[in-house]
């Protein structure tokens, strides 16, 4: 897949130069240098993103689209330029196919609501066992309200989707297939192009949750041929409260709007309304202006770097951590699919994941512990929770070593 952003690439990947751009990495936690290894939950922000939002507020802020004064026009241009940047980042030719949302969760809710009228009792929606709750709960709404039947692609012991079972699940009642591109627990990168082709052959709408994948690999939505593809900003080194949904024009025309209010309408009368053209039809009210501009700045910042170099760096840190952790007695890696992303979920026999995370925090190492909003996955694996270290562009081999050393101390303390 190719990334179509036109930002000039920096020559060579310099981890020290990268880290200097993140002010928060200079702080100490419990008198230790911060080692932030919770990037799958939310990533830290570089100065260019922080400054872009601050400068917009300080020098050129107004509401967008309908104003006629200078500040409104400048803000509208910056806001819509961010939509163009998202489109290019995802390999989408037309910015009108990009809908701004609060994040991937809202995007998936928008889709579920927008397609609700197309679902009849007994229609089937195929998900996978590794989905985040954001790609499960909205479809339960259609189960409750429309009589849809939810079916789940099983996960193998290694952490792959069982595609043979998936093929057998498809049929004339299959209306929607919605799967995660990269698991936030297992790190598995799913073959979404193949999954989508099979869905389309059955006449189903194909949806991809790209929340994790957009941070770790180049995305070309046109090559994937997803009908809908969502992403979120705060994991891509951008602000919270902003995400994006790509929707094919034919799907936009079929979807009913999720929210009503200003901007999403063309005309309002006492007895009827006419809706605005997409994407504005799906963006009611004052949008997350500053957040969208921050997302555009994050894409500019991230696109300086070569994806292959980021991938190689993140994988080197991940692989180093795994190799060191394998020497620890009772260590169990959760998810061993080939070519997985840099997400390290694990358990230590006899020790609760929450206890591990709390002890590591005493040494300045930030990881996540729990079910990671994937309860069906945990149930399928026969576990209650995991500890999870997730690596990003600014993490180092030294931080991986600190994770290992801190874990050894935690085991000694808790055993």
E-strand spans in 130-227? Answer: 149-153, 174-180, 205-209
Whether residue 240 contacts residue 291, with contact meaning beta carbons closer than 8 Å, is answered with yes
Residues 213 and 64 in one domain: yes
Known active-site residue 146: no
**pLDDT tens digits for 251-292?**
999 999 999 999 999 999 999 999 999 999 999 999 999 999
Residues 401 and 257 in one domain: no
Chain-centroid distance, C-alpha 33: 27
**CATH number for position 352:** 3.90.1150.10
Q: What is the pLDDT of residue 8?
A: 66
Average the pLDDT over 7-21 and give the result: 86
Neighbours of 67 (CB within 10 A): 14
Whether residue 6 contacts residue 300, with contact meaning beta carbons closer than 8 Å, is answered with no
Which tokens belong to 81?
Answer: 């330029």
User: Does the pLDDT value for residue 366 go beyond 90?
Assistant: yes
Q: Which of 373, 383, 397, 414 is catalytic?
A: 373
User: Does the pLDDT value for residue 391 go beyond 90?
Assistant: yes
**pLDDT tens digits for 210-265?**
999 999 999 999 999 999 999 999 999 999 999 999 999 999 999 999 999 999 99
- Residue 1 belongs to a domain: no
**pLDDT tens digits for 131-159?**
999 999 999 999 999 999 999 999 999 99
User: Does the pLDDT value for residue 5 go beyond 70?
Assistant: no
Residues 278 and 400 in one domain: no
Sign of CA dihedral 271, 277, 281, 284: negative
Whether residue 132 contacts residue 185, with contact meaning beta carbons closer than 8 Å, is answered with no
Q: What is the pLDDT of residue 67?
A: 81
- Residue 38 belongs to a domain: no
- Residue 169 belongs to a domain: yes
Bridge partners of residue 189, in order along the sequence: 182
* Nearest CA-CA partner of 162 in 195, 137, 199: 195
Average pLDDT over all residues of the chain: 96
Structurally, how many domains does the chain consist of? 2
Bridge partners of residue 387, in order along the sequence: 346, 369
- Residue 264 belongs to a domain: yes
**pLDDT tens digits for 65-103?**
988 899 999 999 999 999 999 999 999 999 999 999 999
In this prediction, residue 2 has a pLDDT band, given cuts at 50, 70 and 90, of very low
Gap between the Cα atoms of 253 and 212, Å rounded: 28
In this prediction, residue 10 has a pLDDT band, given cuts at 50, 70 and 90, of confident
Q: What is the pLDDT of residue 383?
A: 95
Q: What is the pTM of this model?
A: 0.95
% of the chain exceeding 70 in pLDDT:
98
- Residue 183 belongs to a domain: yes
**CATH number for position 231:** 3.40.640.10
Q: What is the pLDDT of residue 252?
A: 97
Residue 285 buriedness (CB in 10 A; 0-12 / 13-18 / 19+): exposed
321 is in which domain, residue-wise?
306-414
């Amino acid at each position: 897949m190719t990334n179509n952003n036109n930002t000039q690439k920096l020559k060579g990947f310099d981890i020290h130069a990268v880290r200097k751009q993140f002010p928060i990495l200079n702080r100490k936690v419990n008198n230790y240098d911060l080692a932030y290894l919770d990037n799958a939950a939310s990533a830290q922000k570089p100065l260019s993103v922080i400054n872009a939002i601050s400068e917009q507020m300080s020098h050129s802020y107004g509401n967008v689209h309908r104003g006629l004064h200078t500040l409104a026009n400048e803000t509208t241009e910056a806001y819509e330029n961010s939509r163009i940047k998202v489109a290019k980042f995802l390999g989408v030719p037309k910015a009108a196919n990009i809908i701004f949302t609060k994040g991937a969760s809202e995007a998936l809710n928008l889709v579920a609501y927008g397609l609700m009228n197309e679902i009849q009792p007994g229609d089937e929606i195929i998900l996978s066992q590794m989905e985040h709750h954001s790609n499960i709960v909205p479809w339960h709404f259609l189960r409750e309200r429309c009589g849809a039947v939810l079916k789940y692609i099983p996960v193998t012991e290694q952490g792959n989707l069982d595609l043979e079972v998936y093929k057998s699940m498809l049929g004339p009642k299959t209306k929607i297939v919605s799967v995660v591109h990269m698991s936030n627990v297992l790190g598995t990168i799913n073959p979404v192009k193949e999954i989508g082709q099979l869905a389309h052959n059955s006449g189903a709408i194909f949806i991809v949750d790209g929340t994790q994948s957009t941070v770790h690999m180049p995305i070309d939505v046109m090559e994937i041929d997803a009908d809908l593809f969502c992403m979120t900003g705060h994991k891509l080194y951008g602000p919270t409260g902003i995400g994006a949904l790509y929707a094919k024009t034919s799907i936009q025309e079929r979807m009913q709007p999720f929210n009503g209010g200003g901007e999403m309408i063309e005309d309002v009368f006492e007895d009827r309304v006419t809706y605005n053209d997409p994407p504005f039809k799906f963006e009611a009210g004052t949008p997350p202006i500053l957040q969208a501009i921050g997302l555009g700045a994050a894409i500019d910042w991230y696109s300086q770097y070569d994806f292959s170099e980021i991938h190689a760096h993140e994988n080197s840190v991940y692989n180093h951590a795994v190799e060191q952790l394998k020497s620890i007695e009772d260590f169990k890696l959760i998810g061993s699919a080939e070519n997985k992303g840099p997400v390290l979920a694990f358990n230590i026999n006899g020790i609760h994941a929450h206890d591990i995370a709390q002890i590591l925090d005493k040494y300045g190492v930030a990881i996540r512990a729990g079910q990671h909003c994937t309860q069906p996955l945990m149930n399928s694996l026969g576990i209650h929770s995991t500890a999870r270290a997730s690596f990003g562009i600014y993490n180092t081999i030294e931080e991986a070593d600190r994770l290992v050393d801190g874990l050894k101390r935690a085991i000694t303390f808790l055993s």
